[in-house]
């Protein structure tokens, strides 16, 4: 079931999402958290860091798995998702580095990297709470619109729309990696609870397609309609095209 909440602004969205993470870890100190990159979750991570710094939450027993990573970027590359996580969350909280998992952009054997990643998630007991952003084209993680839903962690070729959207972080569109590793739709759907965040007018079409459109791999996020426990947090602008 999908519950949609319209929040006042991105700050309120961040507070609401962080509250879900805090509740999850309070209930289960060794929770497995699924994490995302992109600009959308940054306020959530700031709130989580604040909660740690004020003694509200302890991350020492938590395990994390990130959704995706660019192929070819080293963990020290400023646009790698490992670097993003270190900067925006991990270095501000007390999670041991060995408990944080991000696919390696430099893996020598992509198939083994993806297979091991999927197995590690399963061995950890599965993801308790997964945070998701939303691509302008309806992608989740790096699962791009396609003819079929991908089950497990795999390599993808990024679409022009995603390269365009993400080039703002690179010197030019040419610098954006063309491939990425991503958890599959099946991996994401196995999470016990999901919180998806979207803000801004550029996401309004994707939000409407995800919530009210048909379930189709052409809008990968639409599959979330079939998940038993999804919270969608949006601002007014992203909610503008919802009709119900």
Interface contacts to ligand GLP, rule CB under 6 A: 36-40, 67-68, 133-135, 141-142, 162, 166
Task: Write the CB contacts of 171 (distance below 8 Å, at least 6 apart in sequence).
Answer: none
Alpha carbon distance 221, 204 (integer Å): 13
Sheet holding 193-198, edge to edge: 2-7, 230-235, 193-198, 129-132, 32-35, 63-66, 100-101
Helix axes 10-27, 42-53, angle to 10 degrees: 50
Helix axes 42-53, 81-88, angle to 10 degrees: 40
How many residues belong to the chain? 244
160 is catalytic: no
Smallest gap from residue 38 Cβ to ligand GLP (A): 3
Q: Which one from 47, 66, 68, 69 is the annotated catalytic residue?
A: 68
Choice between 57 and 230, CB closer to ligand GLP: 230
Using an 8 Å Cβ cutoff, are 195 and 20 in contact? yes
175 is catalytic: no
Q: What is the CA 195 to chain-centroid distance, rounded?
A: 9
Q: How far is CA 201 from CA 93, 135, 205, in A?
A: 32, 12, 8
Q: Which one from 88, 101, 139, 199 is the annotated catalytic residue?
A: 139
Choice between 61 and 75, CB closer to ligand GLP: 75
Q: How far is CA 15 from CA 19, 25, 68, in A?
A: 6, 15, 24
68 is catalytic: yes
Choice between 45 and 90, CB closer to ligand GLP: 45
Q: Which one from 113, 128, 144, 235 is the annotated catalytic residue?
A: 144
Residue nearest to ligand GLP (CB): 133
Smallest gap from residue 58 Cβ to ligand GLP (A): 27
Smallest gap from residue 36 Cβ to ligand GLP (A): 5
Alpha carbon distance 34, 81 (integer Å): 13
Choice between 26 and 236, CB closer to ligand GLP: 236
Smallest gap from residue 165 Cβ to ligand GLP (A): 6
Smallest gap from residue 47 Cβ to ligand GLP (A): 16
137 is catalytic: yes
Choice between 134 and 189, CB closer to ligand GLP: 134
Residues tagged active-site: 68, 137, 139, 144
């Amino acid at each position: 079931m999908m519950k949609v909440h319209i929040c006042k602004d991105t700050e309120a969205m961040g507070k609401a999402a962080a509250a879900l993470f805090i509740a999850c870890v309070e209930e289960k100190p060794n929770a497995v958290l699924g994490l995302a990159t992109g600009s959308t979750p940054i306020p959530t991570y700031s709130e989580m860091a604040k909660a740690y710094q004020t003694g509200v939450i302890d991350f020492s027993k938590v395990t994390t798995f990130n959704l995706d990573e660019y192929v070819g970027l080293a963990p020290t590359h400023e646009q790698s998702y490992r670097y993003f996580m270190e900067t925006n969350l991990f270095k501000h909280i007390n999670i041991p580095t060995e408990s944080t998992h991000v696919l390696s952009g430099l893996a020598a054997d992509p198939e083994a990297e993806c297979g091991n990643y999927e197995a590690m998630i399963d061995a950890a007991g599965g993801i308790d709470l997964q945070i998701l952003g939303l691509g302008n084209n309806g992608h989740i993680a790096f699962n791009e619109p396609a003819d079929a839903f991908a089950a497990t962690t795999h390599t993808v070729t990024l679409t022009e729309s995603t390269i365009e959207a993400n080039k703002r972080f690179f010197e030019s569109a040419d610098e954006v990696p063309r491939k990425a590793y991503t958890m599959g739709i099946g991996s994401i759907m196995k999470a016990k609870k999901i919180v998806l965040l979207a803000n801004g007018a550029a996401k309004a079409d994707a939000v409407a397609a995800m919530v009210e459109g048909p379930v189709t791999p052409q809008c990968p996020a639409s599959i979330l309609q079939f998940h038993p426990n999804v919270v969608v947090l949006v601002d007014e602008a992203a909610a503008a095209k919802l009709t119900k």
